[in-house]
Amino acid sequence: MADDKDTASAIPTLEDWQHWTWVMGRAQQMLMETWADGMKQGQPWPSVPPAWGAFPPAFGWGLPGQSPASDPAALMTAGAEAWAKGLETWGQMMGLDTAAKEGARDRRFAAPEWQDNPVFDTIRKTYLALSDKLLGTVEEVEGIDDEARQKMRFGVRNFVDAMSPSNFALTNPQVLKRTMESRGENLLKGLANMLNDIAAGQLTQTKAGVFEVGKNLATTPGKVIKETPLYQLIQYTPTTDEVLETPVVIFPPWINRFYILDLTPEKSFVRWCVEQGITLFMVSWKSADESLADLTLDDYVLQGQVDAIDTVRDLLGVEAVHTIGYCVAGTTLAATLGYLHARNEQDKVASATFLTAQVDFTQAGDLKLFTGGETMALLDELTRDKGYLDGRYMAATFNLLRGRDLIWNYVVNNYLLGEEPAPFDLLHWNSDTTNLPAKWHRDYLETLYKGNKLIEKGGISVANVPIDIGKVKTPTYVQAGREDHIAPPESVWKIMDHFGGPKRFLLAGSGHIAGVVNPPAAQKYQYWVNVRPAETLEAFVEGAEEHKGSWWPDWVEWLKSLKPKVVKAQGPRVPGKGKLKAVEDAPGRYVKAR
């Protein structure tokens, strides 16, 4: 009798049939509505970045109505068992030791459902063993150079990440459980999330409507004191009675919004610098439009960095300024220093700080893989008619570098589980894309990234002035992130090889963003310094001393040791009180322009 009751309870009721029929119908309706909206705009589906091509298959397996099966639970169980048997067979054919993966730490499979059910446990262990086998095979291939192996490694890693059983509804026990508990509601919510993202042309990584620039991001008080077609110059309001005589000018990357350095007040590098008694200026680059289509390196050096340096020097009546170049702006800052040295004007810059910046791209990491002929052809196609690159394409590229965390994690949570991402200021900034001038972006990739011309004597010129960064003697502070996947520490280190003059290298814990944005109050991560001379990064690490927490105090101590003189925080030290009147309040218009 008990068996009969169990059998009866497993049979779908009329209500179950009606509900699942409604789910299927609603899914079809949502797809048709999206298609109809697209037709009104002249295309059946929105135009979205190439990276989206990988997303729909992961979701399609889980859509009710994709299969004629009448019992969703039976379909899901059968599908999971088929996957398990298939993976197990492959593992046996390749002689894999799946038991060796028992203790593997992988948050994709952290939920107990992956271990408790023998079917999913087999899927998990066999997939992990297969992944290791495929990735290991790349290292064993003979007769290829390092560049070819790097391309193969990147491709295999992304393929392996994409094929994870966690990315498919039928092989993810958490998704199956959620689907049965919610009776398919999670898949409808996920479909809505996916369609919204496709319409926006961008993956949602943080909760919408929580953060706003000027309201709870980029709120450090200040004024825009200069505006050009290329940038706005922000001067921040002092909060101390005295300030260092020599000001600091920050050049953020033009491929991102500057407020990564002025996030919430608790995380703001800008606010912290002002509190240390620094007269601080920030360059806010304009998001590219048709008017900036023909910009080149000359424009970013002369009309951008040199112009900002001269503007601040003239405003405050000082001989020199400290400079900070973050990421690609650090690369340009190296060219600016080379230009100033060639013209015997190097005294305009008292010091240069390079945050996760590269000048020698010999070991530039996986991002270098996006400088091949096919990528350049795609870039030409995307920018031919408008003269600038939509920032969403650049964001998709960066997401691919960490696909497991920045793509597939959200595919599972947003689309399969039907969840809404949590609010996160850093990921809001990451999604706040900015457009790039087409000509300059291509030149940067071909001449600097691929051609590596910046390290060649006279390899590039600015305003017909040949650049030789080997002659740069400006005091230099070089910060690298230990886990940086965009500017690897071994690549950032090469600044030490090419510059002369006094140099200080610091290796920070974490990566390209969190390794930089690490306020002292957070008491997170660590950094390493080595007071003894080191010829290589390996030698630096071997003799380095670890310090807990933020590297910011180390930097400001170094800065103050170069130019310790202080002056009253009055007159032109207050935004709008000098010869340059306030244009508008910080953070200005440019950072908000889309």
Q: Which of 76, 327, 357, 480 is catalytic?
A: 327
Tokens linked to 97: 């030791």
Bridge partners, residue 480, by sequence: 507
Q: How far apart are CA 453 and CA 461, in angstroms?
A: 10
Q: How far apart are CA 10 and CA 229, in angstroms?
A: 68
Bridge partners, residue 545, by sequence: 529
Q: How far apart are CA 313 and CA 298, in angstroms?
A: 21
Query: End-to-end alpha-carbon separation of the chain, Å?
Result: 67
Residue 433's identity, in one-letter code, is T
**Residue carrying structure tokens 């000018």:** 249
Asked if residue 397 lies in contact with residue 370, where contact means CB atoms within 8 angstroms, the answer is yes
Tokens linked to 346: 């190097």
Q: How far apart are CA 363 and CA 133, in angstroms?
A: 26
Residue 147's identity, in one-letter code, is E
Q: How many CB atoms lie within 10 A of CB 99?
A: 9
Residue 437's identity, in one-letter code, is P
Residue 455's contacts (CB-CB under 8 Å, 6 or more residues apart) are: 359, 360, 469, 494, 498
Q: How far apart are CA 359 and CA 497, in angstroms?
A: 10
Tokens linked to 550: 């933020």
Q: How many CB atoms lie within 10 A of CB 53?
A: 9
The yes-or-no answer on residue 327 being catalytic is yes
- Return the SS3 of 542: helix
Q: How many CB atoms lie within 10 A of CB 544?
A: 19
Q: How far apart are CA 383 and CA 379, in angstroms?
A: 6
Q: How far apart are CA 311 and CA 233, in angstroms?
A: 9
Active site residues: 327
